[in-house]
Structure 1
Amino acid sequence: MGFILAAVGSAVGLGNIWRFPFQAGAEGGAAFLFVYLGFIALIGFPAILVEFVIGRRTKRNPVGALKELGGDRWKYVGGIFVVTGFVLLSYYSVVAGWFFQYFITGLFEGYTATTPEELGAAFGAASSGTSALLAHAAFMIAVTGIIVAGIRSGIEIAVKVMVPGILFILLGLAAYGAFAIPEASQAYAYYLQPDFSVIAENWQTLLPAAAGQAFFTLSLGMGVMITYASYLGEDRNLAEDAAVIVSLDTFIAVLVGFVVFPFIFQAGADPTEVGPDAIFVSLAQAFATIPGGRLLGVVFFGMVVIAALSSAISILEMLASYLIDEFKWERPKAAAAAGLAVFVLGIPVTIDLVFLDLFDGLADSVLLVLGALLVVLFVGWVIPEDGLDELTTGVENIGSLGSIWLWAVRIPIAIVLVISLYLGATGYLEFLADDFLGWLNG
């Protein structure tokens, strides 16, 4: 139970609550949801099993695990995981700090901004400058403290409280939106009724967006699930555990859409133009105008901070595990060093949001998909017998399902990931050439 809740806690976070809604909104609502759910079922579930078999087989961190199974040259793939974890957590912590600030604002002042100018000014004050830097520091101190406490006493205790609390709060907010917001029916239509012509026309952007979001929200492609599975006993059925984790994470992501989109439509925002600030602006406006909005706002933003903390714990645990296993550092030293490095790397994001796009695009469009592709190729083509043997350990009567999984990993899943990586990388290069270079040139 501790493993499942820890893995779900890793998966449930800003990927579901902050990133999923604006990705879904920008990519056509139900069209994105349809592709995303297909990607989760056909790619995400087999891919999480790939990381599970590596982790449990070796009982080591991603770098050590790949080195043990594949030799020295494969340790560099594990190095990609470590780099991805540092990049992702550096801006993840900053965004979590924004939610923490909105939580504190609601707790002590309430949500009073209603005009676009006031809402924009409030987000600008929270997302950059000294307040963003201090919130980023406070968040990383909290994450580091839990990691120092150790895997069982720190992480398991934290997530056993966090995960049920997150689910309970989301269900309450979704019920409120359904019965109290008149625009909810419009929001549900946008969110749940796919236009398949949009999918046909925009598949080149939908596919990499869905792939990146799936790996982001399931914590795949950066070795987190390898690290967690390394603590797992041989008696566990990996497929059953993976099914529970993927189902809970996907349920919560879809549920978040039922929470966020009614508020976005009530605020009069265009869901196709949502961005990193849209949830803050639209929901803050909604909480300032609806009955009981202050209490709802405090609950919502507090819930997101909890979710973000549970995910950040898993990433920093992976980074600390690398330092503990490979350099023989003590846990407190490893956690403190990794936490400090993440904090320093995230400082530019507190200065200008262009660095958020720079880091998020690199992690989401390139590094996560690349990491997933490499481990899929590793298990499918380098250690297929080990992978299949580990998958069937602790399982009775798996039949031909193991062979089907291995075939899927070796061919169709690898092909889809190659296409997704190509589309994501070309899109990121376009961003660098147009937006980031334009920012550098003033």
Structure 2
Amino acid sequence: MSQRETWATRVGFILAAVGSAVGLGNIWQFPFQTGANGGAAFIVVYLAAVFLIGFPAMLAEFVVGRRAERNPIDAFARLGHRNWKIVGVLGTLSAFWILSFYSVVGGWVVRYVLGSATGAYFSGSEAYFGAISAGPEAVGFHAVFMALTVGVVALGVTDGIERSTKLMVPSIVILLGGLAVWAGTLEGGAAGYAYYLSPDVDVLLANLGSILPAAVGQAFFTLSLGMGAMITYASYLGRDDSLPVDGATIVVLNTFVGLLAGLVVFPILFSLGIEPGSGGLGAAFITLAGAFAQLPAGRFLGVGFFVVLLLAALSSAISLLEVVTTYLVDNTDRSRSTLAVALGAAIFALGVPSALGVPILSWYNAIAYNLLLPLSVLTLLLFVGWADTDDAVAELRRGTDLSEGGAVAWLWFVRTLVPLGVLATLLLGLQSLAVKAGLLAAPLV
């Protein structure tokens, strides 16, 4: 068995975890989910989900990962709870599943960086998306994106993941911030800010049954929860790092980037009279590419935006591949590079159907959002809250001045309110899947 790696610096861990969180979920999914679920009404529920559900759940993943110093599957046996191994299996399965279609979307991003530089989509953004989003070309760029991801993971934790995310995460923030400043100068953009930042209570109350699972699923997706990523990254941590401080830093930075993405997207859409939420999973590509085609310096702006999207996509994809790679690194004598290549090939194969049709990719995405992620997070919370209580409290307090009362309050939250919220989300998500499959004519709630 090969020697287990660790982070070279604490900053490296934080940026890697932020990079895992700040991915396509923030810039691809977040504006679409916001636009499709009532704008600022969605933001209110999303922010509540991030801080009341996502943050406590992230700390739960951290305490498991750092104490076990193992991959998500082996962590529970290492902690003396072999019967809870299913929790790690669910997380690893989720990472494998999500990366398979995530890589397809990453391939779209690579294609759009090139298309922005040449102006290829300027004559018709919808037709361009239809041409490149499915079929042999989509499969080819799916392979390109997966190869980039494999290349970084194969280099290892310090030389690959830590070094790359130290470059990518600051670049994402700087480029996105520049685009947000520019978007603020657009005529008509004020309506976009109003839609994005002024919640309508009536919309919120009337659509809470659909907004809640979308918002909680978005929180899990953007924070990389339920995928084994935070367990894996915490397993490389030193014993003296403060988990609450690191977790809070990651959550705040991730949320800031997600909100910043909205400050770019919605002023652009409203300045050009484009309906928010239109375009489905291709919204960021169809609507924004169409916007860049109509704006001065559109090629330059398009390249800048899609480079940000590519960096974000890669930083998250790296963490997902690391989840499944670290299991084999911990349990075989094969080299990391060999394992990363083999797993990358398997994930690529699983994703090929979603590269052949956007409706198939939509199903992959719906299964992840509505079933795999909430189920994985729920089982982890039950483990930490009810089976590993004393050790979890002690691990959370290690390396910090957090009082025992504060840690116990967190544990109470993890074992009661947070699982109830996740359970409600899971049930509503299953309802959404049933409606999507035609098993229900309309939502019951």
Give the shorter-chain TM-score range: over 0.9
- Describe the shift of the 1:370–1:328 C-alpha distance in structure 2 as closer, same or farther (beyond 3 A): farther
Q: How does 1:73-84 map to 2 (within 5 A)?
A: 73-84=83-94
Contact 2:33 2:277 in 1 (8 A): no
Contact 1:320 1:331 in 2 (8 A): yes
- TM-superposed CA distance for 1:278, in Å, is 1.8
Residue by residue, what CA displacement relative to the aligned partner does 1:398-438 show, whole Å, maximum 9, x if unpaired?
Answer: 35211110000011111111111111112112212369xxx
292, 295, 303: which one aligns with 2:308: 303
Residues in 1 aligned to 2:271 and 2:110: alpha-carbon distance in whole angstroms: 24
Contact 1:267 1:282 in 2 (8 A): no
- TM-superposed CA distance for 1:304, in Å, is 0.5
Amino acid at match of 1:175: V
- TM-superposed CA distance for 1:357, in Å, is 1.3
- Give the corresponding residue for 1:182: 187
Does 2:258 align with 1:253? yes
- Give the corresponding residue for 1:438: none
139, 143, 155: which one aligns with 1:133: 139
Contact 1:111 1:294 in 2 (8 A): no
Structure 1 vs Structure 2: percent identity of aligned residues? 47
Contact 1:267 1:283 in 2 (8 A): no
Q: How does 1:384-423 map to 2 (within 5 A)?
A: 384-423=389-428
Contact 2:397 2:404 in 1 (8 A): no
Does 2:418 align with 1:425? no
Residues in 2 aligned to 1:173 and 1:194: alpha-carbon distance in whole angstroms: 24
- TM-superposed CA distance for 1:272, in Å, is 4.1
Does 2:110 align with 1:97? no
Amino acid at match of 1:153: D
266, 272, 288: which one aligns with 2:271: 266
- TM-superposed CA distance for 1:120, in Å, is 1.8
Residues in 1 aligned to 2:222 and 2:402: alpha-carbon distance in whole angstroms: 31
117, 122, 133: which one aligns with 2:128: 122
Task: State the Cα RMSD in Å.
Answer: 1.3
Q: How does 1:9-24 map to 2 (within 5 A)?
A: 9-24=19-34
Report SS of the residue matched to 2:438.
helix
- Give the corresponding residue for 1:2: 12
Amino acid at match of 2:411: L
- TM-superposed CA distance for 1:186, in Å, is 0.5
- Give the corresponding residue for 1:156: 162
- TM-superposed CA distance for 1:267, in Å, is 3.2
- Give the corresponding residue for 1:376: 381
Amino acid at match of 2:278: E
- Give the corresponding residue for 2:234: 229
- Describe the shift of the 1:224–1:289 C-alpha distance in structure 2 as closer, same or farther (beyond 3 A): same
286, 299, 306: which one aligns with 1:281: 286
- Give the corresponding residue for 2:221: 216
- Give the corresponding residue for 1:87: 97
Contact 2:36 2:277 in 1 (8 A): yes
Residues in 1 aligned to 2:438 and 2:67: alpha-carbon distance in whole angstroms: 42
- Give the corresponding residue for 2:68: 58
Contact 1:70 1:382 in 2 (8 A): no
Contact 1:93 1:346 in 2 (8 A): yes
TM-score, length of structure 2 as denominator length: 0.94
- TM-superposed CA distance for 1:354, in Å, is 1.3
Contact 1:25 1:274 in 2 (8 A): no
